[in-house]
Amino acid sequence: MKKDLLRHLDFIVIDILAIEYALVLTCLLHRFWFPQDTMLSWQLALLFPLIHLFQTALFDAYDGVLRRGYMKELSSILRLKFFSFATLMFLFYFLKMMPQLSQRMVAFYFVFCIPLTYCFRFLQKFYLRHRYNNMKYSRQILVAATKINAQNMIRTVTGSALRNYQFFGLAVLDQSMIGATIGGVTVAADRETLISYIKEHVIDEVLLDIPGPAEETLCLARQLLEMGVTVHISLEDICRSLPNRSIGEVFGCNVMTASISPLSFRQTLAKRLIDIAGALVGCLLTLVIAVFIAPFLWLRSPGPLFFCQTRVGKSGRRFRLYKFRSMYMDAEARKHELMEKNRIKDGLMFKLEDDPRVIKGIGSFIRKTSLDEFPQFFNVLKGDMSIVGTRPPTVEEYERYSPHHKRRLTMLPGITGLWQISGRSKITDFEEVVRLDTEYIENWSLSRDIKIILKTIAKLPHSGDAF
């Protein structure tokens, strides 16, 4: 994270300058139009840049900044400023850090920040584009590939909105095509003329994309390295089918890493912070709900208020899951008697129409409204679960899993998830559940989590089914 931030230090500096200029304009406007409002400009001048830096690190806001076009850049700035100002409002007005700060001032500050940040970034990109068009400041890159891979490779290296390199030329290595055109680019060399072509031209780096045995690629790479040329070896052909690829280091070894889950450290941290904030609110609501349902539950079925059960979480870790008890005390013993009525094949989940083990009245009510799930916020606070994730199976269900079923446990299990908002009462095929869970894991994003939470809230009165 530190390395990524330093790499885009120029954009960090201009963003902070835009923030400070926005504050200057806000102060001038306020003194002219609203002299009676309280001014706390120096607090904003110090605090908001810190909030901005925290948000950029948390959401990896500068990732791909050179590749973004103007509309994507605007979208990125709007998203970043929204979260930054939401944090600012939380600190000022909910935590009462500075209750005397004018809301009108904060609103103007927000309005000025967005166009100024956008304009400053636009000017910076204009400057960088002008600078990188000069051979002195840009890296000259030659692509050497087979004919099949050449077109995709050209599309990749020329697709960025802004590049700190120049695409110098193309060499096709598996046949002689000098003078021919691929993807609008003229082939400049083949395998026989590649070395002499590089010797005669200003080329800093070569990107190799040669499928097949590694020996040929390594042999050519050594030749280029002897000439002092930086060599990049594409692994796309070898690892094309692996999801979420990245280069890293394990035990001092350089490795290509692939994972079904795309979460980076920053995204994991953001998800955990949201879980903690949501869990604190959820735990308070759980205590309030407990006060109201406990008497009714005890009258209908004397026994403990909470139901605890061992569930299987991330990568097979076991934990104790908490729920409000919605069934009679002998529910677990009677489960085996009812297995033949299970709607899910192979016993990989247990779903039953009109489950006779549910306590009449209060049990049916808290299950229908999903109030029985609220104690799981304590699991979220402990770190066993997340607010959004996949359904945690029982130990018995987990022991029946096939190897490919375990992929749904790649992330922390959740109180709600994609399966729950996709008609869980109607899904009777466990493979469909696995498909939905896998889709959620592979395409995770913070915005998608928020959408799932909102859809879950909208469906609460009609959920009619529980874990």
In the prediction, which pLDDT does 98 show? 58
In the prediction, which pLDDT does 3 show? 47
In the prediction, which pLDDT does 97 show? 60
* Residue 235 CB contacts under 8 Å (≥ 6 apart), including other chains: 245, 256
| 304 pLDDT more than 80 | yes
**335 Ramachandran zone, left/alpha/beta (phi>0; psi -120 to 50):** alpha
| 379 pLDDT more than 90 | yes
The better pLDDT of the pair 57, 240 is held by: 57
Query: What residues are paired with 323 via a beta bridge?
Result: 307
| 2 pLDDT more than 50 | no
The better pLDDT of the pair 19, 427 is held by: 19
Q: Are 417 and 440 spatial neighbours (Cβ–Cβ below 8 Å)?
A: yes
* Residue 337 CB contacts under 8 Å (≥ 6 apart), including other chains: none
> Could you state, in order of their start, the residue ranges of all structural domains in the chain?
2-132, 139-235, 265-462
In the prediction, which pLDDT does 114 show? 92
Q: Is residue 165 classed as helix, strand or coil in its secondary structure?
A: strand
In the prediction, which pLDDT does 377 show? 96
Which of these ranges, 78-82, 286-290, 421-425, 451-455, has the smallest mean pLDDT?
A: 421-425
What is the number of other CB atoms lying within 10 angstroms of the CB of residue 391? 19
Q: Are 44 and 102 spatial neighbours (Cβ–Cβ below 8 Å)?
A: no
Q: What are phi and psi of 257, to 5 degrees?
A: -110, 135
| 466 pLDDT more than 50 | no
What is the model's pTM? 0.65
Domain spanning 139-235, CATH class: alpha beta
E strand intervals along 173-324: 181-182, 185-189, 205-209, 230-233, 246-250, 253-257, 306-312, 318-324
- Across residues 74-81, what is the average pLDDT? 89
- Across residues 73-97, what is the average pLDDT? 80
Task: Report how far apart, in Å, the C-alpha atoms of 47 and of each of 42, 65, 118 are.
Answer: 9, 24, 21
